[in-house]
Amino acid sequence: MRIAAMDWRMVEDWTRADDRVALPLGSTEQHAGLSLLTDALLAEKVAADAAEPLGVPVFPALPFGISPYFQAFPGSMTLRVETFCSVVRDLLDSLKRSGFRRILLVNGHGGNAPAGALAREWMMDNPDCRVRMHDWWRAPRTWEAVQKTDPVAGHAGWMENFPCTRLPATPADDEKPPVDRDRLSTLPPFEARTLLEDGCFGGRSQRPDTEMEAIWRIAVEETRDLLENW
């Protein structure tokens, strides 16, 4: 259940009987012709869809992550690593004070990887809690489905092109040669923008919704399994 549909008494009642919770982590950054909030939208939706039949509370996605490499694209926001980790630590502390002890971080942005190390450090100081970092799009079963659908899959391409991330101006299906990721990783933001052009890492920009729905079902089931089988 999304926290937006709960009041504090409902949370208190929940934690008397269960201590599970989902906290999505996202970002606000360029995704070519898709929404700047793609990572946050998908992280929160997969968490909410997975948690719905279980009744597990789902918080809003943290909309800002670590995205320094996209800072030449207007609208892209970033936190420094230390700031991001401090925010996640404060949120974990707050969740514990609310009575949650099993916390699933449903992550939608690869740049947020430091949250995984922070979670392990936090458990060192909070041994009565369990935190699991779940990169939903590259979890084993989901990533296998992505690769079977189309092995050329990456940032701002077809694998992030869902109905909820499209805009009225999102271009129709197109194909772009894969970007040189090794070179990209060595460039400062303005040179990275020049290399990326529209921002997509390459491949097709869209695939049929039937294929995307099949991948989404697997992603939801895989996320639900983590919530259900601690």
Q: Are the C-beta atoms of 122 and 131 separated by less than 8 Å?
A: yes
Amino acid at 180: D
pLDDT mean over 144-148: 98
pLDDT number for residue 230 = 84
CB atoms within 10 A of CB 183: 11
pLDDT mean over 195-205: 97
pLDDT tens digit sequence for 76-124 = 999 999 999 999 999 999 999 999 999 999 999 999 999 999 999 999 9
CB atoms within 10 A of CB 187: 16
CB atoms within 10 A of CB 82: 9
Give the domains, in start order, of the chain with CATH numbers: 3-228 (3.40.50.10310)
pLDDT mean over 3-27: 98
pLDDT mean over 17-33: 98
Alpha-carbon gap, residue 190 to 53, rounded angstroms: 45
pLDDT number for residue 113 = 98
* pTM of the model as a whole: 0.97
pLDDT number for residue 81 = 98
pLDDT tens digit sequence for 39-55 = 999 999 999 999 999 99
- Whether the per-residue pLDDT at 149 is higher than 90: the answer is yes
- Whether the per-residue pLDDT at 173 is higher than 90: the answer is no
What percent of the chain clears pLDDT 70, i.e. is strictly above it?
Answer: 100
Amino acid at 37: L
pLDDT mean over 6-12: 98
pLDDT number for residue 196 = 97
Alpha-carbon gap, residue 73 to 69, rounded angstroms: 9
Phi-psi region of 28 (alpha: psi -120 to 50; beta: other; left: phi over 0): beta
pLDDT number for residue 33 = 97
- Whether the per-residue pLDDT at 130 is higher than 90: the answer is yes
pLDDT tens digit sequence for 132-145 = 999 999 999 999 99
Average model confidence (pLDDT) across the chain: 97
Helix (H, G, I), strand (E, B) or coil at 34: strand
